[in-house]
Every structure is written in C-alpha cells, then in structure tokens.
Amino acid sequence: MLMACLGVDAHAAYSCNATVTPISVVYSPTVAAENISTGSYTVSCTRLITDPATLTFNLRADNGLQPTGATNRVQLGATANRYSYELYRLTPYINANRWQNTAALQFLGTIAFGTGLSGTATGSFDLRLAGSQPVRPAGTYTDTVAVTLRNNAGGAILNTTSFGVTVVTSNSCQITTLPGNMNFSYTSFQAAAANVSTSYEVRCTTGLFYTMALDLTSSTLLGLTYTLALSAPSGTGNGTEQPYNINGSIAAGQAGTCAGASCSGSQTRTLTISY
C-alpha cells in the first residue's frame, strides 16, 4: 500500500499601497532654532475574505540618496553642498525616536478590517533641520527617501514607495556676535589720543558678497569729537562666523565741555549689513 502525504502552505493575500507626503521646507541656516516640518503617511490594504481581519504592518525609511552615516542630507544639484536633516516618529527628538530602516526605528501599525475587505491606517512624522548649520550657497536642496511596507508577521514586503524632501534657502546674513559698548575715558587736553575697540561676528551664505557700514563715523559727545572706523567695509560669506572690529578714537588736545570733576554721556550708533 502506497501512502502519499501532501503539504499545502496557505499565505494571506493582502494587497497594500503606501504613500508618504513630500516635504518642502524654507530654511535659514543662520537661525539658531531648529526647523520642524510635519509629514504624513497612509497605508491602504485590501484582503480576501479568507484572510485574517487584522493586519499588523511595519513601515521603514532609508537614509536617502546622500547620507553621512545614519544622518540624511539634502543636496544642491550636482554639487557637494548639503544640509543635514533627520526623520522622527516621536518626540522628543532623540536617536531612539528616529524613523529609519531598522526594526527598532520603524513605524508599527495595525489595520482592522472588521467584516470588510479594505482598510486604511494613517500616521505622521517630523522632519528636523538643526539650526546654525554651516551656510551653503542659496538654492533648492533635494533628497529622496525610500520607504518599505512589510507584513510584520513574517516580514513579507507588501509595497515600496518614496517621498521627496526639498529644502529651499535664500541668501542671508546674520550678526551672530553683537558689538559691545565702546567706553572712552578722556581728560581735557590730554596729550595722547584715546582709543577703544569692540568686536563682532558676521555669518553669511557661502559666496555671498556683503557690505558693512555705520550710520555715522564721526560725532561729538560732551564737546569731544570722536571717530569710528570698521576694520573692513565688506566681505564674502563662507558659511562660518567672520570676525570684525569697530575702532574708535578721540584725538588728543580737545577741551570738551565738562564743567565738573567728571562727566558722562552716551550715543547710539547703528551697524548695517547689506547684501
């Protein structure tokens, strides 16, 4: 007598589609505050009547087209100019809450079909651009992130998709370190000039030419004429802080108008960066 045993494997026949919204951000790297944008995903599935009425899925995102380690980066055309960004499933924005292509950093969701044959699940994520990144040339920076949808039971791939990340920057300058007060000490008819200086720093888009000017370079205070001069009238941005000085002087031999043992006075000057 010949006996035959036939084994049959049954697989669920879910048919799924995942979509992720593209994200477009206007970004100023000279600002210290982080830039947060929110995107969303949608998972839509259908099933056969013989399939389980609940599907647990996971959704993973890779690190884009030009990552550095585990950090995503957008890129300006074919250049080497890039800005770093990260994707997060949750707050606070720590490594354990990022959205990446690992089991520990994936979205985990459930579609409950009930008695129906189709269902949908949605969720949101954040894109974080850290503030005060080195300032690159102004333009449109892009990246593409690949997303994989899997059946969490067994890991079968149900769908693959991608979404675009666009970061738009414009030419900008920022006085990152403000000039301090310039405090002169002067005695009537003193034989030597009184000189003081204060420093400041400017951070501008790489390659951006800018000029600097004071509202006045000479004025009189307590009958004493003082002069101010910038250490440089202009510069070209390199994305990092660039240091400059304001130098002040009161020439020797001036009498002034102080009638007492000592006098004090102050004026406000304005420093303007143009680009």
Positive or negative torsion for Cα 144, 150, 152, 154: negative
130 and 232 assigned to the same domain: no
Asked whether residue 6 is assigned to any structural domain, the reply reads no
Asked whether residue 4 is assigned to any structural domain, the reply reads no
Listed in sequence order, the residues at least 6 apart from 267 whose beta carbon sits closer than 8 Å to its beta carbon are 219, 221
pLDDT of residue 42 exceeding 70? yes
259 and 134 assigned to the same domain: no
Picking from 169, 198, 231, the residue at the C-terminal end of a domain is: 169
pLDDT value of residue 206: 87
41 and 98 assigned to the same domain: yes
Q: What is the CATH number of the domain that holds 139?
A: 2.60.40.2040
pLDDT grade for 239, boundaries at 50, 70 and 90: confident
pLDDT grade for 2, boundaries at 50, 70 and 90: very low
pLDDT value of residue 30: 85
163 and 177 assigned to the same domain: no
Picking from 122, 147, 169, the residue at the C-terminal end of a domain is: 169
In what order do the strands lie in the sheet containing 194-204? 173-177, 194-204, 241-250, 224-230, 218-221
pLDDT value of residue 181: 96
Asked whether residue 65 is assigned to any structural domain, the reply reads yes
For residue 43, how many other CB atoms are within 10 A of its CB? 24
3-state SS of 204-225 is ECCCCEEEEEECCCEEEECCEE
Mean pLDDT of the chain: 94
Q: What is the CATH number of the domain that holds 239?
A: 2.60.40
Asked whether residue 7 is assigned to any structural domain, the reply reads no
Q: Please say whether the beta carbons of 153 and 176 come within 8 A.
A: no
146 and 197 assigned to the same domain: no
Asked whether residue 3 is assigned to any structural domain, the reply reads no
pLDDT tens profile 170-218: 998 989 899 999 999 999 999 999 999 999 999 898 889 999 999 999 9
Q: How many domains are contained in the chain?
A: 2
Asked whether residue 158 is assigned to any structural domain, the reply reads yes
pLDDT value of residue 4: 40
Q: Compute the chain's Rg from CA coordinates.
A: 32
pLDDT value of residue 8: 36
Give the mean model confidence (pLDDT) for residues 219-238: 97
pLDDT value of residue 13: 82
Q: How far apart are CA 29 and CA 170, in angstroms?
A: 10
pLDDT tens profile 46-104: 999 999 999 999 999 999 999 999 999 999 999 999 999 999 999 999 999 999 999 99
177 and 163 assigned to the same domain: no
32 and 62 assigned to the same domain: yes
What percent of the chain is modeled with pLDDT above 70?
96
Q: Which residues of 131-168 are buried (b: 16+ CB within 10 A; e: fewer)?
A: eebebbbbbebbbebebbbbbbeeeeebbeebbebebe
Asked whether residue 220 is assigned to any structural domain, the reply reads yes
Q: Quote the tokens at residue 240.
A: 């990092």
251 and 120 assigned to the same domain: no
Give the mean model confidence (pLDDT) for residues 20-38: 92
Angle at CA 30, nearest 5°, toward 28 and 33?
80
pLDDT value of residue 32: 86
pLDDT value of residue 174: 87
Q: Quote the tokens at residue 49.
A: 């009547």
220 and 261 assigned to the same domain: yes
Picking from 169, 187, 202, the residue at the C-terminal end of a domain is: 169
pLDDT grade for 240, boundaries at 50, 70 and 90: confident
139 and 264 assigned to the same domain: no
163 and 40 assigned to the same domain: yes
Asked whether residue 253 is assigned to any structural domain, the reply reads yes
pLDDT grade for 131, boundaries at 50, 70 and 90: very high
218 and 128 assigned to the same domain: no
Q: Which domain holds residue 144?
A: 15-169
